[in-house]
Amino acid sequence: MTVRRIRKSAIAGSWYPGNPHTLRKEIERFFSRVPERDIGADIVGIVAPHAGYDYSGQIAAHAYRQLKGMSFDAVIVIGPSHRSFFRGVSTYAAGAYETPFGVVPVDETLAGDLIGSGPVVSDMPEVHTQEHSVEIQLPFLQVALGGFSFVPLIMGDQSRNTCEELAGTIVRGVGTKRVLIVGSSDLSHFHAYEEAVILDRRAIDYLVRMDAYGLLQALDDGSSEACGGGPAAVTILAARELRADRAELLKYTNSGDVTGDRSSVVGYASVAFFRAG
């Protein structure tokens, strides 16, 4: 494939190591600390955090370790927009993202199918330039899967309507392909440790019950928090349509468990959605 444009890394060397050897060693070290599981089912989607690896890398590894040895026709990574404000969803429809491990090609056919499957997805490459929520997932995927192609999606708004439209667009665009859907989300932000645990447990309860609407309602009324609640809800909705029927919390913690500062923390969880074999 002739790469027409490459989205350069915005966070290598800061949010995660910029040296490929160091980066691989760190991810493999994270993986080595994840207990072996006999999941007995296909993984359709995951929700994983998007903080710097020093804070949430070990939590993300609990999801990505389950993917080792698997293969997918494509991966769809959905993240929230932290820097740009717009309606709908932006994709990077042609070219590739670059990490220290090399380029990850965009599945241009699938990206085009998503754009053509409804009005919610548009090709807005400029939105992707500095956004970290998609990129942070890619080195884990590169180590777990090896070579793969993907479609990056950044949600400019996380309304119920946008979540429903995006989930439907994904299901129509995917068709019979075997895909992995990744929802990029941290949980509560900057609460004391005990309050954060309460807020996060509510969000996790909705995730493991695959209750996208309950999660969105809790985010709307403030009874829980997740900066990528929309991507998480879309992952649930699309995974259900792709016959996922079970979810499992793989790991939860917050930054207080990492830094020892429990006065103001950020919550992180890894959740997987399974389709019975």
User: pLDDT tens for residues 41-53?
Assistant: 799 999 999 999 9
* Calpha distance 171→48 (Å, rounded): 21
Residue 131 confidence (pLDDT):
97
Mean per-residue pLDDT for 149-167?
97
Q: What is the pLDDT of residues 93-106, one digit of tens each?
A: 999 999 999 999 99
Helices (H), ranges, 117-211? 138-145, 160-174, 193-208
C-alpha pair distances (Å), 79 with each of 12, 220, 261: 18, 18, 27
pLDDT band at 40 (very low <50, low <70, confident <90, very high): low
Query: Do 154 and 128 contact (CB within 8 A), yes or no?
Result: yes
Residue 36 confidence (pLDDT):
83
Query: Do 49 and 59 contact (CB within 8 A), yes or no?
Result: yes
Give all domains of the chain, ordered by start, each with its CATH number: 6-276 (3.40.830.10)
Residue 276 confidence (pLDDT):
74
Average pLDDT, the chain: 95
Residue 3 confidence (pLDDT):
47
* Calpha distance 64→29 (Å, rounded): 13
What does pTM read for this prediction? 0.96
Cβ within 8 Å of residue 2, ≥6 positions away:
none
